């Protein structure tokens, strides 16, 4: 159980992580939750079709929601999962623990939409374990909250298993969103791809922490980690910390991290062709995030992701 | 920083006088234009008329202000008009922002067209076309109609249509990028084309295809300003008039033969005069 859930259940705010905790220094929960809301069990509603599952987690009252949800994809099976986290305009807290277990040769394509209220403090932790030959592909799309932490921890067995942990965040106002990932490569020949892109406007704050650990003996590991952010205002902020911890000898690991503004040349080019400044900004911002969307293998899920991001951008670019 | 004027422009009367000389009303009129870029003045009293339907070449040595002229007309940030006026068909250009000028029919073909990953060329051009139409109070082009026109324009330029579905100019060669500029011209149907060093980076075959594309757009309603350092481009795009730009002003004007003279004798004479 993570510390927010324990703090809610035990009504003890000293259990909350604060800036003093290295892993939480950009996502201070203690400062954001002066009063702990009354605890409540989180519930999920599900819609199933063959090979597809949609889950909705709704936070409607000023409560402290907590819950644990496990999902297993048996060997050889394939599932597309759409997870929606939806908050009403209330000052709620939520701490959800999700586990995903993939059997041999199974595949799970997961898209998670995190749409919290601006007053919410939420932590979502996904723990993923893969059997050899399994494939886990995740795209986390986040609109931020007062504090929003989305954490993914994946244990990689190697052996031809493949993991893709992507994400995008679009933040306006005073919203905050933190995507933290940790991939532990424990076997030979594991592959991992990670691309997170974000756009921050107004006084918003985006956080990315990506750690890749390659254990002793996990030779042949092939890992790529990228985080790129666009900062659209002087008062917006992006903090990022990519980390590679490598204890094996024969590995290919790369990481890239950029934080910058919109390309003024490209903006002028679009304007010189008749596209008004606001529309030009929105077009270029959407294009910046498009790479994350294009990596979603399932066409229906990809369309959902594209329109969700486009809608968020309407409120940001400008 | 933005493009624009520091003073209230007084509208020139010189346009009417020149109308008699040419017999045709000018589409573009530039009078005594002074432009500063991040401080120092670059254009220092440039005057020029381009009548409807005519193609005028602007030639000049490096640093004469050729690109400054094209960026000023397109309203690039940082190009500040400190004196003078410019009008399109009698309408004050300098009072308009970049996208408004485009909607009025100004098209600047970039020397180095931008790569825009994530925006397919077709999407970019349709967005631009419909934004222009909206600004002019016209109906937007429907998707099927747009696609039909795009296919025709691409075929005329011998472009692979699949290229238009990829990110704008991403991974294109210099020739392909210039062809994409011509494609956009054909789709947007501007009244004033400004070709800024369109020949740079083109081999002879690409130059021919691009020039044919430009020539196909010549019409009695459309004027062109062809800005170039070399005479070579003018073998393909034959100008009605040639102007020499040196020291921030037009220092000589003549027929196509002037370009040949410059090719033979260089710009030295004009640079000395301008200094």
pLDDT in tens, A217-236: 999 999 999 999 999 999 99
Which residues, 6 or more positions from B17, have their beta carbon under 8 angstroms from its beta carbon? none
Closest CA to A274 of B74, B86, B98: B98
Residues B50 and B28 sit within 8 Å (Cβ to Cβ): yes
**Residues pairing with A84 in the sheet:** A56, A113
C-alpha torsion A281→A284→A288→A289, nearest 10: 70
Task: Report CA-CA distances (Å) from A281 to A69, A261, B76.
Answer: 39, 11, 16
Report residue B54's pLDDT band, with 50, 70 and 90 as the boundaries.
very high
CB-based contact, B152 to chain A, within 8 Å:
no
Provide the pLDDT for residue B24.
62
Phi, psi of A116 (to 5 degrees): -90, 170
Closest CA to A243 of A216, A213, A223, A217: A213
For A275, which of B76, B118, B128 is closest by C-beta distance?
A: B128
DSSP secondary structure letters along B124-138: HHHHHHHHHHHHTTP
Relative to beta strand B116-120, strand B167-168 is antiparallel
CB-based contact, A277 to chain B, within 8 Å:
yes
DSSP secondary structure letters along B165-225: GSEETTT--HHHHHHHHHHHHHHH--SEEEEESTTTT--HHHHHHHHHHHHHT-BTTBEEE
DSSP state letter for B78: T
Residues A285 and A230 sit within 8 Å (Cβ to Cβ): yes
Q: Provide mean pLDDT across the span A104-116.
A: 97
* pLDDT tens readout for residues A191-227: 999 999 999 999 999 999 999 999 999 999 999 999 9
Residues A226 and A192 sit within 8 Å (Cβ to Cβ): no
Sign of the CA dihedral A306, A308, A309, A310? positive
For chain B, helix (H) and strand (E) counts, in that order, are: 10, 13
Task: Say how far apart CA B105 and CA A231 lie, in whole Å.
Answer: 33
Residues A126 and A151 sit within 8 Å (Cβ to Cβ): yes
Chain B residue with minimum CA distance to A270: B128
Angle at B71 between CA B82 and CA B259, to 5 degrees: 105
A261 interaction partners in chain B (CB closer than 8 Å): none
* pLDDT tens readout for residues B175-186: 899 999 999 999
Residues A309 and A111 sit within 8 Å (Cβ to Cβ): no
Residue B20, pLDDT > 60, answer: no
Q: Which two tokens stand for residue B27?
A: 């589409």
Task: Report CA-CA distances (Å) from B108 to A126, A275, A295, A303, B139.
Answer: 51, 14, 35, 35, 24
Average pLDDT value over all residues in chain A: 95
* pLDDT tens readout for residues B170-223: 999 888 999 999 999 999 999 999 999 888 888 888 888 889 999 999 999 999
Task: Report CA-CA distances (Å) from A293 to A288, B4, B241.
Answer: 10, 39, 51
Report residue A1's pLDDT band, with 50, 70 and 90 as the boundaries.
low
A265 interaction partners in chain B (CB closer than 8 Å): 114
Residues A264 and B3 sit within 8 Å (Cβ to Cβ): no
A289 interaction partners in chain B (CB closer than 8 Å): 118
Percent of chain A with pLDDT over 90: 94
Of chain B, the end-to-end C-alpha distance in Å amounts to: 30
**How close B107 gets to chain A, by Cα (Å)?**
7
- Taking CB atoms and an 8 Å limit, are B102 and A290 in contact across chains? no
- Taking CB atoms and an 8 Å limit, are A284 and B74 in contact across chains? no
Residue B15, pLDDT > 70, answer: no
pTM: 0.86
C-alpha torsion B248→B254→B258→B262, nearest 10: -10
Rg (CA), chain B: 18
Task: Report CA-CA distances (Å) from A175 to A115, A124, A237.
Answer: 11, 16, 11
Surface-to-core class of residue A188, CB atoms within 10 Å of its CB (0-12 exposed, 13-18 middle, 19+ buried) = middle
Task: Report CA-CA distances (Å) from A227 to A169, A198, A257.
Answer: 11, 8, 5
* pLDDT tens readout for residues A118-163: 999 999 999 999 999 999 999 999 999 999 999 999 999 998 899 9
Taking only residues 226 to 265 of chain A, the set having a beta carbon closer than 8 angstroms to any beta carbon of chain B reads 263-265
Surface-to-core class of residue B232, CB atoms within 10 Å of its CB (0-12 exposed, 13-18 middle, 19+ buried) = middle
Q: Which two tokens stand for residue A117?
A: 């209220």
CB-based contact, B195 to chain A, within 8 Å:
no
DSSP state letter for A156: E
* pLDDT tens readout for residues B69-115: 999 999 999 999 999 999 999 999 999 999 999 999 999 999 899 99
Chain B residue with minimum CA distance to A292: B118
Provide the pLDDT for residue A109.
98
B124 interaction partners in chain A (CB closer than 8 Å): 270, 273, 283
Taking only residues 53 to 82 of chain A, the set having a beta carbon closer than 8 angstroms to any beta carbon of chain B reads none
**Token pair 């070399």 in the structure block, residue:** B230
Surface-to-core class of residue A239, CB atoms within 10 Å of its CB (0-12 exposed, 13-18 middle, 19+ buried) = middle
Q: Which two tokens stand for residue B196?
A: 């800024």
- Taking CB atoms and an 8 Å limit, are A268 and B77 in contact across chains? yes
Task: Say how far apart CA A128 and CA A106 lie, in whole Å.
Answer: 13
């Amino acid at each position: 159980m993570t510390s927010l859930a324990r703090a809610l259940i035990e009504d003890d705010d000293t259990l909350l992580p604060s800036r003093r905790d290295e892993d939480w220094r950009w996502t201070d929960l203690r400062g954001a939750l002066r009063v702990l809301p009354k605890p409540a069990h989180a519930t999920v509603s599900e819609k199933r079709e063959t090979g597809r599952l949609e889950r909705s987690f709704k936070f409607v009252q000023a409560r402290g929601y907590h819950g644990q949800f496990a999902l297993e994809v048996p060997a050889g099976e394939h599932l597309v999962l759409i997870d929606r986290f939806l908050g009403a305009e209330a000052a709620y807290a939520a701490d959800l623990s999700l586990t995903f277990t993939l059997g041999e040769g199974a595949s799970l394509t997961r898209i998670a939409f995190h749409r919290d209220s601006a007053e919410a403090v939420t932590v979502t932790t996904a723990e993923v374990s893969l059997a050899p030959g399994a494939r886990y592909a995740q795209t986390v799309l986040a609109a931020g909250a007062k504090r929003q932490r989305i954490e993914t921890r994946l244990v990689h067995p190697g052996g031809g298993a493949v993991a893709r942990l992507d994400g995008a965040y679009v933040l306006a106002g005073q919203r905050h969103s933190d995507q933290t990932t940790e991939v532990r490569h424990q076997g030979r020949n594991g592959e991992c791809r990670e691309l997170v892109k974000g756009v921050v406007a107004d006084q918003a704050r985006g956080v990315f922490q990506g750690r890749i650990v390659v254990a002793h003996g996990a030779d042949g590991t092939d890992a790529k980690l990228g985080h790129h952010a666009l900062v659209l205002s002087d008062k917006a902020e992006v903090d990022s910390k990519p980390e590679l911890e490598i204890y094996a000898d024969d590995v290919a690991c790369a990481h890239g991290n950029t934080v910058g503004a919109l390309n003024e040349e490209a903006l002028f080019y679009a304007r010189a062709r008749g596209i008004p400044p606001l529309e030009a900004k929105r077009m270029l911002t959407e294009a910046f995030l498009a790479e994350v969307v294009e990596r979603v293998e399932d066409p229906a899920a990809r369309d959902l992701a594209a329109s969700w991001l486009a809608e968020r951008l309407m409120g940001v670019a400008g | 920083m933005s493009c624009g004027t520091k003073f209230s422009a007084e509208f020139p009367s010189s346009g009417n006088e020149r109308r008699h000389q040419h017999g045709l009303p000018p589409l573009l009129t530039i009078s005594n234009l002074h432009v500063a870029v991040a401080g120092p003045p670059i254009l220092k009293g440039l005057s020029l008329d381009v009548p409807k339907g005519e193609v005028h070449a602007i030639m000049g040595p490096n640093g004469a202000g050729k690109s400054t002229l094209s960026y000023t007309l397109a309203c690039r940030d940082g190009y500040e008009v400190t004196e003078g006026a410019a009008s399109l068909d009698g309408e004050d250009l300098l009072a308009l922002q970049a996208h408004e000028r485009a909607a009025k029919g100004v098209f600047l073909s970039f020397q180095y067209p931008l790569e825009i990953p994530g925006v397919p060329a077709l999407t970019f051009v349709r967005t631009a076309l419909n934004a222009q139409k909206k600004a002019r109070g016209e109906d937007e082009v429907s998707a099927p109609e747009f696609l039909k026109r795009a296919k025709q324009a691409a075929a005329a330029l011998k472009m692979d249509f699949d290229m238009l579905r990829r990110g704008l100019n991403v991974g294109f060669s210099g020739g392909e990028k210039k062809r994409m500029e011509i494609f956009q011209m054909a789709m947007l149907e501007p009244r004033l084309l400004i070709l800024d060093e369109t020949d740079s980076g083109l081999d002879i075959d690409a130059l021919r295809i691009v020039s044919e594309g430009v020539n196909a757009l010549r019409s009695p309603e459309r004027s062109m300003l062809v800005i170039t350092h070399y005479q070579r481009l003018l073998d393909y795009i034959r100008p009605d008039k040639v102007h020499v730009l040196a020291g921030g002003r037009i220092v000589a004007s003549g027929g196509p033969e002037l370009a040949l003279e410059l090719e033979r004798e260089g710009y030295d004479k004009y640079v000395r005069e301008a200094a």
